[in-house]
């Protein structure tokens, strides 16, 4: 039973999901004839396999540190399987980099509720967001949930609202100095902002359209369910969940900002969606145990099996 297996946090769970990510990366690169056998290219691919695996582990760390789910691995199961549904993600290395840095920023944003070392956390988050924006400009939209988190945190003050500008300027100035030193130009400032295009022709492909539709259906279904459950949430959990909703909405706009819509931009949405899906599974199980509703259990079991099997089916699309 997948519900029992991933309902626990065992090392084997992480190993299996890590192997899935590596297999998905290799499949995507081989399918695109992007695998080369020079030492530099092998190192390059190993680096991105490592970053992809670490993104999954980082998401798990964020969840545990902030108690966004119970002690299970449902969220990283959803995250991994959603990535495998869209192998094109592994071909867009700038998006992989940007997403990794945004997860580092999310770690700091979600931890602001503790109100310890708040100024340092805000500065760290703003630095990570701006570094992510060097790879993908519209990552800057993540400053919105950062400011929301600052306003929501205990003992907030107006000075802390100004800290993100410091982090932003620090990264911009350092990159400008680098460009002047090595390229003798600051032209990157004029080309940094990427034009938003709404050409979704790539989504006409069945291999992109069906996975995106399924992920969107999961997001709408589980998100709507969780929004209805907000009044019943414990007072301690409400701020983090509401902040997570803001983050999920922000990631939608980050993805829509992609200059070239290839399907890989969906990666930005996967982390918050995976957490919301995991919350849905957990809350359903609590209801099931209380009502002894076997049909509810099998519905969730089938749901998890579908998420695991669909990436394999999509290999043949």
The arithmetic mean of pLDDT across residues 265-274, rounded, is 96
pLDDT tens track for 231-265: 887 777 788 889 999 999 999 999 999 988 999 99
Task: Report residue 293's pLDDT band, with 50, 70 and 90 as the boundaries.
Answer: low
Is residue 79 pLDDT above 90, yes or no? Answer: yes
Q: How many angstroms separate the CA atoms of 233 and 223, rounded?
A: 14
The pLDDT assigned to 8 comes to 83
Is residue 292 pLDDT above 80, yes or no? Answer: no
Q: How many angstroms separate the CA atoms of 198 and 121, rounded?
A: 35
Q: Which 8-state DSSP code applies to residue 118?
A: H
What tokens appear for 12 in the block? 């084997």
Among 136-145, 223-232, 238-247, 299-308, which range has the highest average pLDDT? Answer: 136-145
pLDDT tens track for 22-45: 999 999 988 887 666 678 888 888
Q: Please say whether the beta carbons of 110 and 243 come within 8 A.
A: yes
Q: How many angstroms separate the CA atoms of 302 and 258, rounded?
A: 34
Percent of the chain exceeding pLDDT 70 equals 94
Domain ranges for the chain, please list them: 2-314
Q: How many residues does the chain have?
A: 317
The pLDDT assigned to 234 comes to 78
């Amino acid at each position: 039973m997948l519900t029992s297996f991933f309902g626990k946090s065992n090392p084997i769970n992480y190993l299996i999901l890590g192997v899935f990510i590596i297999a998905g990366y290799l499949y995507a690169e081989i399918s695109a004839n992007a695998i080369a056998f020079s030492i530099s290219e092998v190192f390059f691919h190993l680096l991105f396999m490592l970053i992809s695996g670490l993104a999954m582990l980082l998401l798990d760390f964020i969840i545990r540190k902030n108690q966004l789910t119970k002690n299970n691995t449902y969220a990283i199961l959803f995250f991994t399987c959603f990535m495998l549904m869209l192998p094109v993600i592994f071909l867009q290395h700038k998006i992989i980099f940007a997403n990794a840095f945004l997860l580092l920023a999310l770690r700091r944003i979600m931890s602001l509720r503790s109100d310890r070392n708040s100024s340092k956390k805000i500065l760290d988050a703003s630095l990570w967001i701006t570094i992510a924006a060097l790879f993908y400009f519209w990552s800057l939209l993540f400053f919105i949930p950062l400011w929301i988190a600052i306003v929501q945190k205990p003992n907030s003050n107006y000075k802390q609202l100004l800290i993100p500008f410091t982090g932003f300027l620090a990264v911009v100035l350092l990159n400008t100095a680098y460009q002047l030193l090595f390229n003798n130009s600051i032209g990157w400032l004029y080309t940094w902002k990427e034009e938003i295009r709404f050409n979704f022709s790539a989504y006409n492909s069945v291999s992109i359209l069906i996975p995106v539709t399924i992920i969107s259906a999961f997001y709408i279904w589980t998100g709507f369910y969780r929004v209805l459950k907000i009044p019943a949430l414990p007072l301690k959990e409400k701020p983090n969940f509401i902040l997570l909703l803001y983050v999920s909405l922000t990631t939608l706009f980050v993805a829509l900002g992609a200059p070239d819509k290839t399907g890989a931009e969906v990666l930005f949405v996967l982390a918050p969606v995976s957490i919301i899906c995991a919350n849905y599974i957990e809350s359903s199980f609590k209801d099931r145990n209380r009502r002894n509703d076997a049909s509810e259990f099998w519905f969730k079991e089938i749901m998890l099996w579908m998420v695991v099997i669909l990436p394999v089916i999509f290999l043949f699309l």
